[in-house]
Amino acid sequence: MSEETVTLKKPWLVAVWPGMGNVAITAGFYLMAKLGMHLLAEFRPLDLFEVEMVEVKAGLIRSGRLPRSRFFVWHNSAGRHDIVVFIGEAQPPTGKYAFCRRLIDFARGLGVERVFTFAAIATDMPPEQPSRVYGAATDDHILGELRQVEVEILAEGPIGGLNGVLLGVAAENQLPGGCLLGEMPHVFLQLPYPKASLAVLETFATLAGLEIDMTELREQAQAVEEKLGELFSALQQALQSQESTSGETITPPEAKQSELGPEDQQRIEQLFQQAQQDRSKAYELKRELDRLGAFAEYEDRFLDLFKKPE
């Protein structure tokens, strides 16, 4: 691991990975951008992941890229809790428990007082309905705080992947924390659902006493809601038709990546320049990259925006 020496004030850790609806990763990126965080440390990937594929560009084969796992930090000038965000580009295929122990050991070394993970929970909610936030905690005290902010308590059931395993390891180490799960429609699991990210982030901000401008995420959630509302109506009609004939179900199509034209490339460069001057504008850049299906291509450059100035 590469890292800098840092002293933090009563820090809280938020850990996110890609998952259903991009709920967790969207909330994590938005939090990182709006707080103007900078890179704190990185887990070296060689002992965590295997290269699963290579990339082909214009017929030429390029070496595969290993997923990266990075910590970003924000110092709270108001004197409450500093915030550390861990963003993992992928979950390791094996060794999840050992990986979580390593992450918790690092968090304890920073003096982290609480650990939170973000995730999604799929229900039969219609797209126009507000996303509820479900939660589970490592102890009764955190559970009480979740109830105070009107989180629906997840009475029973599994939390899959590192979103749950990390909190299990935290509990074993007497490190309190909880998981916040944003509600999304089960028929749209393959599509981004920023409304759930917004609900999760608003809840976390209340718990942590943070003031975060949610305007961009709220606008994005509204735009997606309108589009998905139309798709949801069409799906309902198609499902009714399918069930009446063959009993089969329909899966929403995945978004396709498109080639970038000169105008798109110019727009991206302008947004990179703006984000370099003001990191709070970085989420607008990410949103545009997501819209163009180009975030994976620019991900390293995007996250380099959050390196601490030398």
CATH of residue 179's domain is 3.40.50.10900
Q: Cα-flanking dihedrals φ and ψ of residue 160, to 5°? A: -75, 155
What is the tally of helices (H) and strands (E) in the chain? 9, 11
User: pLDDT, tens digit, for every residue of 68-90?
Assistant: 899 999 999 887 899 999 999 99
Q: Would you say residue 229 lies in a domain?
A: no
Q: Would you say residue 46 lies in a domain?
A: yes
CA 11 to each of CA 110, 135, 138: distance values in angstroms, whole numbers, following the listed order: 8, 21, 17
**Long-range pairs of 231-238 with CB within 8 A, sequence gap ≥ 24:** 231/188, 232/126, 232/127, 232/185, 232/187, 232/188, 235/187
What pLDDT band is residue 45 in, cutting at 50, 70 and 90?
A: low
Q: Would you say residue 144 lies in a domain?
A: yes
Q: Would you say residue 284 lies in a domain?
A: no
pLDDT (mean) for 1-20:
82
The per-residue pLDDT for 94 is 86
Query: What is the residue-wise DSSP string for 189-253?
Result: TTS--HHHHHHHHHHHHHHHT-----HHHHHHHHHHHHHHHHHHHHHHHHHHHHHHHT----PPP
Residue pair 2/41 in contact by the 8 Å Cβ criterion: yes
The per-residue pLDDT for 295 is 82
Q: Would you say residue 254 lies in a domain?
A: no
The per-residue pLDDT for 113 is 96
Question: Within its chain, how far is the Cα of 17 from the centroid?
Answer: 6
Structure tokens that stand for 290 in this block:
């997501």
Q: Would you say residue 262 lies in a domain?
A: no
What pLDDT band is residue 299 in, cutting at 50, 70 and 90?
A: confident
Q: Would you say residue 66 lies in a domain?
A: yes
The per-residue pLDDT for 227 is 80
Report the alpha-carbon angle 210-164-84, nearest 5.
35
The per-residue pLDDT for 242 is 59
CA 278 to each of CA 33, 159, 198, 275: distance values in angstroms, whole numbers, following the listed order: 9, 36, 22, 5
The per-residue pLDDT for 240 is 67
pLDDT at 111 over 80: yes
What pLDDT band is residue 281 in, cutting at 50, 70 and 90?
A: confident
pLDDT at 260 over 70: yes
pLDDT (mean) for 121-137:
92
pLDDT at 293 over 80: yes
Count of domains for the chain: 1
More confident residue, 65 or 153: 153
Number of C-alpha atoms within 13 angstroms, CB side, residue 2? 8
The per-residue pLDDT for 309 is 58
What pLDDT band is residue 93 in, cutting at 50, 70 and 90?
A: confident
The per-residue pLDDT for 247 is 46
Of the listed ranges 132-136, 172-176, 199-203, 256-260, the least confidently predicted one is: 256-260
Number of C-alpha atoms within 13 angstroms, CB side, residue 171? 15
Alpha-carbon gap, residue 225 to 241, rounded angstroms:
24
Helix, strand or coil, per DSSP, at residue 46: coil
Q: Would you say residue 114 lies in a domain?
A: yes
More confident residue, 302 or 216: 216
- The domain containing residue 16 runs over which residues? 2-214
User: pLDDT, tens digit, for every residue of 205-249?
Assistant: 999 999 999 999 999 999 888 887 666 666 566 656 655 554 444
Structure tokens that stand for 295 in this block:
């975030």
Q: What share of the chain is helix, strand, coil (3-state, %, to 5)?
A: 45, 20, 35
pLDDT at 37 over 90: yes
Closest-CA residue to 295 (of 305, 287, 284): 287
Alpha-carbon gap, residue 241 to 252, rounded angstroms:
16
The per-residue pLDDT for 250 is 40
pLDDT at 118 over 50: yes
The per-residue pLDDT for 5 is 59
pLDDT at 2 over 50: no
User: pLDDT, tens digit, for every residue of 157-178?
Assistant: 888 889 999 999 999 999 999 9
